[in-house]
């Protein structure tokens, strides 16, 4: 399946976001490598996914009571204007994810975890029955590009505070994306360029940024 879903969740839309820079590099490289492939872009900050509400929950519970209901049958179970509106917000997000062969996600670390914009997307697409059985994401590729102000790599004092990688690994793993189909690119020490007390880390930050660019390009070219 030659198609790419490109998601950005960085709150910084001013041009200073490294995660946006790297996902854009991935998308540009992928599109050059897969000429004619389908490409979809969703900016989860400029066009935010609404958080879950009572209508979503009520419809989800009704679907659960009916057992495994595929997305194409959910609309028939919606009751009232609010539930139908909740499903109309949710349905295209699920369709985009299910249709994608590759997904690239910009996931900057905010307070040790993913941005609220990305969590809202995850919550909404994980509608009961959307990814069960044949709906699992087996065979798809997910590339997560994560940026962090500090250092959270293996062996660092802050390693245990990285809740981005294990969370997304657990989430996509439950949907069938495992092994080499789920890859993480991490650019660390991004605050070193800004904070005077981190000035000594600027060479390490530059190396991390360059390594992330190289890895991003390599993964996009596959």
Q: Check which CATH number belongs to the domain holding 28 and give it.
A: 3.40.50.360
Judge whether 110 is annotated as a binding position.
Answer: yes
The answer to whether 192 and 202 have CB atoms below 8 angstroms apart is yes
Residue 19, annotated ligand binder? Answer: yes
- Confirm if 5 and 102 have CB atoms less than 8 A apart: yes
pLDDT on residue 67: 85
C-alpha 119 chain-centroid distance = 9
Cα four-point dihedral sign 52, 55, 57, 63: negative
pLDDT at 73 over 70: yes
Give a yes or no: residue 66 inside a domain: no
The answer to the question of residue 86 being in a domain is: no
Assess if residue 143 is contained within a domain: yes
pLDDT of 24 > 80? The answer is yes
Is 200 inside a domain boundary? Answer: yes
Give residue 7's pLDDT: 98
**Which of the pair, 167 or 139, is modelled with greater confidence?**
167
Residue 26 pLDDT greater than 80, yes or no: yes
Q: How far is CA 52 from CA 12, 31, 56, 89, 162, in A?
A: 23, 33, 6, 10, 25
Question: Is 91 within any annotated ligand binding site?
Answer: no
Mean pLDDT of 16-25: 97
69 falls within a domain: no
Give the global pTM. Answer: 0.95
pLDDT tops 60 at residue 194: yes
97 assigned ligand-binding residue: no
Mean pLDDT of the chain: 95
- Is 10 labeled as ligand-binding? yes
Specify the pLDDT at position 1: 57
Full 3-state SS string of 131-154: CCHHHCCCCCEEEEEEECCCCCCC
Instruction: Find the domain containing 131 and state its range.
Output: 3-49+95-220
106 is in an annotated binding site: no
17 is in an annotated binding site: yes
| pLDDT band at residue 100 under the 50/70/90 scheme | very high
Structural domain includes residue 163: yes
Provide mean pLDDT across the span 58-74: 92
150 in a labelled binding site: yes
Looking at the structure of the chain, the number of domains it has is 1
pLDDT for the residue 161: 97
Q: Can you give the pLDDT at residue 135?
A: 61
Selected residue with higher pLDDT from 90 and 69 = 90
pLDDT for 134 beyond 80: no
What is the side-by-side strand order in the sheet with 3-8? 38-43, 3-8, 102-106, 141-147, 182-187
For residue 68, what are the contacts with CB-CB under 8 A and spacing of at least 6?
129, 132, 133
């Amino acid at each position: 399946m030659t198609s790419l879903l490109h998601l950005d969740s960085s709150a910084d839309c001013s041009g200073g976001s490294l995660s946006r820079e790297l996902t854009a590099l991935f998308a540009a490289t992928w599109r050059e490598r897969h000429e004619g492939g389908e490409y979809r872009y969703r900016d989860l900050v400029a066009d935010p996914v609404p958080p879950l509400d009572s209508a979503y929950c009520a419809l989800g519970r009704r679907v659960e009571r009916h057992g495994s209901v595929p997305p194409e049958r959910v609309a028939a179970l919606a009751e009232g204007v609010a539930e139908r509106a909740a499903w109309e917000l949710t349905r295209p997000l699920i369709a985009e994810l299910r249709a994608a062969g590759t997904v690239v996600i910009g996931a900057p670390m905010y307070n040790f975890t993913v941005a609220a914009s990305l969590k809202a997307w995850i919550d909404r697409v994980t509608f009961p029955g959307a990814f069960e059985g044949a709906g699992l994401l087996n065979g798809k590729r997910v590339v997560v590009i994560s940026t962090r102000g500090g250092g959270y790599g293996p062996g660092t004092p802050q390693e245990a505070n990285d809740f981005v990688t294990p969370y997304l690994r657990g989430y996509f793993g439950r949907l069938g994306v495992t092994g080499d189909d789920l890859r993480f690119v991490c650019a660390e020490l991004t605050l070193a360029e800004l904070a005077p007390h981190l000035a000594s880390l600027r060479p390490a930050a530059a190396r991390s940024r360059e390594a992330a660019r190289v890895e991003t390009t390599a993964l996009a070219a596959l």
